[in-house]
Chain A
């Protein structure tokens, strides 16, 4: 429980100035849900903590057809879980949000914080990858945009540089006739870290073939990953059980899981295949149909409820 100084900037410029001044001695926090755990156990020992809570303009969660979904840096996971547009247009993200920890943690934790913490097991991350999220990163020179796939560098490591702040995620509008789902595999139904997570988002062409698909996996590699090979197997194909199974097999093949206190590596690979298959089936099934009831999505998103 090391001591630290706590700073509350009231503008983005002030926050950037603080980061510039204190450099590696400072740590930026939003909801602090990851920070408090690591600080209390001594893993993180910053001398300065810069809290983004009072920086205005970062709590917007907005959607329009042209720009897609914009998620500000202070938007909580609960904001996302409760949002009707997210539930209808980005169902895999809503599923990722509902599978995330528990209500108390979701009320504090932010999606951007989940990205910046870069845990391979972060529950919003596979869905954000599957919706092709772009990240807005500001620094003293201005801003830059980076695709989320390029932001994850390693466990806990991102391409967000020293003196930079991620302020927004933007998810393009999904094509028409699309469906998606995230499924989390964990021994417990809530307040648990994923042993494996999988998100699939698929859109269908008028002839019933797969027009686009993105598959992303969590907790089976040093970072959340896209399963590009598995996606390629489905594009232009009718998503039959056989094609989906083959795609899921390829997705599992692309994983590089480790063994830890939660799970063995081989089991993780097997589960990655099962979850990919289940999310793809659900995506294909719902692409043309009605938006499923969110209580059903809740049940599907957490594996123990199957």
Chain B
């Protein structure tokens, strides 16, 4: 590959490769402090109940037990993940889902803590509960939060058990539907999904002699945890230090406060360090997964395939608390297409289930399954090739996105073309084999980003950011710094995160690290070069514009051999007017930069069992400049694997009566294994982003969006049945082959009536 860059667009191993492969990287559960206690939690056994009696006396006097806390030991303060504060860190009077922690024990060892947990006596008074979000929204259903209207941050009163309603409108939707040649209407349902990260949540809380709280955490957002802890414990942010340990996977599940407050309070009460390492069952039953999504989608289309109107009503089950909520879902009701008239609604509906969490662009995979399946339905209704339909309606540069931003230059058409070539579309296949497409869209993540670079005595630099490393992001940040400074990768030392030491930054998530944080790093590097140049100018007695920067030195442009190395400048800086050299940069947001990907699945379907096997999976994504192509492909592969799991086997099931998680283990929640996967083929399209470091776009989220729809479309192509509910299990496909493909019940008119939209 030819490249204009000195560092970028090359494959290089991760900066932490040696620590990881030798097992010496330290995770939160590897933290051992003298006198450390073990923490265990007591889960609620009821879906909705008043705690009548919670007697911890036997537990407290159990040998080895040092402290027991319950909800009333915490300040009387409701917090929330977003604006709406709907949740106590530990329930004080009422439990809202099976699994909700209601007491925590600290003891000398885990066994004693667990024994004490079992000695806690609880008496409940059951309250009416509701599990199904579609019935929860009806006025006759039980109320999850009777006090909802009094909660801080509650914004509106539209609908029973509705926590949030997001909307987006454009044009005259009803008129456009009347003018359309054909109207296509569908309901899709996607299942509950666990993030499936390898490292369970873990943290160690310690109190320093001066009374400051230190939290060693497995987290994607150390500053966000610090802020949340300060709220729920009612102590100033400045009295808390969060050390972000190595992260063994998060995918959004570790963006927010999890259980850190429990060991924190226990440590404050006992004066001893307290460690909590959750079991896998606790991860499944206590920490927010994605919950089922039901999607009503309707399009008005002209005979030539032009989409003129779109309506989408989406019910996001948010469980007991808003958690991550519907967040990213809303804008994706039109997908990567020009739709002149639309009405999009996303309801977040409370139920007595575990609260909803984040997962790799929460909600967008659900929306993409609906939108991209629906696109194929439109194509087949009109007798148009599904590929041609997508090309016809795809967004172009200069179009206006859902949010109103103008779409800048992008590689969407290139991704479609690359996929077409790879699969040789359209293709005739043998019986039982099929090919399906999906188009994915996302935007490069924004949010507060900072970086500081200091020049070391030997001419190397230390890079300090507050971003937690995910998927090798530290390596990419080091590469960006090296490129901008004109030094080799190995001359960049990446510091670990600690809220006392690193500057404030947003969470590691939402495809924002390389794009936004990387921009901060690039600017900090440029700032460093400016300062080095100024110092060199001072020492050489030359104007700054006479100097250039390359290969770790500032040189005189008219006389290249003359110059000063970074090491010489670092030494000189000690006694210079400006002092030691530190370059910094801060930014709050970045311009709208879309990311597009086209994907294709080739499957075969066993007609006798309904089982679907993916034979090939191909994706082409416009990643802009690939900072580290090997890491980019890792992101693409990982996302598609998660998407294939979502399409075929992963299914977080809930008891229809109690809402309890029915399959809280990896033995029953089935993520795909290597044996289940086809060869994954990636095509990297490079249309450099107008903004972003050296033209890089975000990479992480879109790969996981496409597989459910691409595979469902391929199944249709193979055997002629349209599956509208995930996962595409053998059972579901066989039922459809046997003509028992039930439509999903969805009363869209009731929702339209509730907001006064006339149903036609």
Contacts and interface: CB of A to CB of B under 8 A. Distances in A.
B668 A189 contact: no
Nearest to B677: A189
B455 interface: no
Nearest to A188: B670
Contacts of A189: 673, 675-676
Interface string B611-632: 1010000000000000000000
A30 B551 CA distance: 64
B608 interface: yes
A187 B729 CA distance: 7
Contacts of A261: 653, 662-663, 668
A264 interface: yes
Interface residues of A, number: 25
Nearest to B607: A274
Contacts of B609: 185, 270-271, 274, 303, 306
B734 A191 contact: no
A59 B160 CA distance: 65
A187 B649 contact: yes
Given A187-B648, A190-B675, A270-B734, A306 B670 contact: no
B662 A187 contact: no
Interface residues of B, number: 26
Contacts of B670: 187-188, 192
B724 to A, nearest CB: 18
A121 to B, nearest CB: 11
B672 A274 contact: no
A280 interface: no
Interface in B671-700: 672-673, 675-676
A171 interface: no
A188 B673 CA distance: 7
A107 interface: no
A1 interface: yes
A304 interface: yes
B281 interface: yes
A262 interface: yes
Contact of B730 (A41, A187, A193): A187
A267 B653 CA distance: 18
B731 interface: yes
Interface in A282-306: 302-306
Nearest to A37: B667
A213 to B, nearest CB: 21
B544 interface: no
Nearest to B673: A190
Interface string A103-146: 00000000000000000000000000000000000000000000
B110 interface: yes
Contact of B611 (A192, A264, A303): A303
A274 B111 CA distance: 48
A1 B111 contact: yes
A41 B675 CA distance: 28
A50 to B, nearest CB: 21
A243 interface: no
A53 to B, nearest CB: 24
Contacts of A303: 606, 609, 611
Nearest to A102: B673
B608 A274 contact: yes
B114 interface: yes
A249 B668 CA distance: 29
Chain B CB within 10 Å, residue with most, of A187, A261, A263, A305: A187
A293 B606 CA distance: 23
Contacts of B731: 263-264, 267
Interface in B66-115: 110-111, 114
A1 B110 contact: yes
Nearest to A275: B609
A274 B675 CA distance: 23
Contacts of B730: 185, 187, 267, 271
Nearest to B110: A1
Contacts of B676: 188-189, 304
Nearest to B672: A188
Contact of B668 (A262, A270, A304): A262
Interface string B637-665: 00000000000110001000000001100
Contact of A267 (B114, B667, B672, B734): B734
Interface in B457-475: none
Contacts of B662: 261
Nearest to B671: A188
B508 to A, nearest CB: 30
Interface string A230-273: 00000000000000000000000000000001111001001100
A41 B611 contact: no
Nearest to A270: B734
B729 A41 contact: no
Contacts of A274: 608-609
A306 B653 contact: no
Contacts of B673: 188-191
Nearest to B608: A274
Nearest to A41: B281
A223 B125 CA distance: 39
A261 to B, nearest CB: 5
A306 B615 CA distance: 12
Interface in B702-736: 729-731, 734-735
B708 to A, nearest CB: 15
Nearest to A101: B667
A37 B666 CA distance: 12
A267 B609 CA distance: 9
A188 B668 CA distance: 10
A263 B735 CA distance: 12
A264 B281 CA distance: 24
Contacts of B672: 188
Nearest to B114: A1
Interface in A170-218: 185, 187-193
Contact of B606 (A190, A191, A264, A306): A306
A145 B114 CA distance: 43
Contacts of A188: 649, 670, 672-673, 675-676
Contacts of B649: 187-188
B611 A306 contact: yes
Nearest to B649: A187
Contacts of A262: 668
B693 to A, nearest CB: 40
A37 B608 CA distance: 34
A304 B613 CA distance: 7
A274 B610 CA distance: 11
Nearest to A306: B606
A303 B608 CA distance: 11
B201 to A, nearest CB: 18
B459 to A, nearest CB: 48
A305 B613 CA distance: 8
A190 B608 CA distance: 21
A218 to B, nearest CB: 16
B397 to A, nearest CB: 43
A264 B734 CA distance: 12
Interface string B246-290: 000000000000000000000000000000000001000000000
B663 A3 contact: no
Q: Which of B281, B611, B613, B734 has the most chain A CB atoms inside 10 A of its CB?
A: B611
Q: Which 4 A-B pairs have the closest CB atoms?
A: A189-B675, A267-B731, A187-B649, A274-B608
19 contacts: A187-B611, A187-B729, A188-B673, A189-B673, A190-B673, A190-B675, A193-B667, A193-B668, A261-B653, A261-B662, A261-B663, A261-B668, A267-B735, A270-B734, A274-B608, A303-B609, A304-B613, A304-B676, A306-B611
Given A187-B611, A271-B609, A304-B611, 20 more contacts: A1-B110, A1-B111, A1-B114, A3-B111, A185-B730, A187-B649, A187-B729, A188-B649, A188-B670, A188-B672, A188-B676, A189-B675, A191-B667, A261-B653, A261-B668, A263-B731, A264-B731, A270-B609, A274-B608, A302-B675
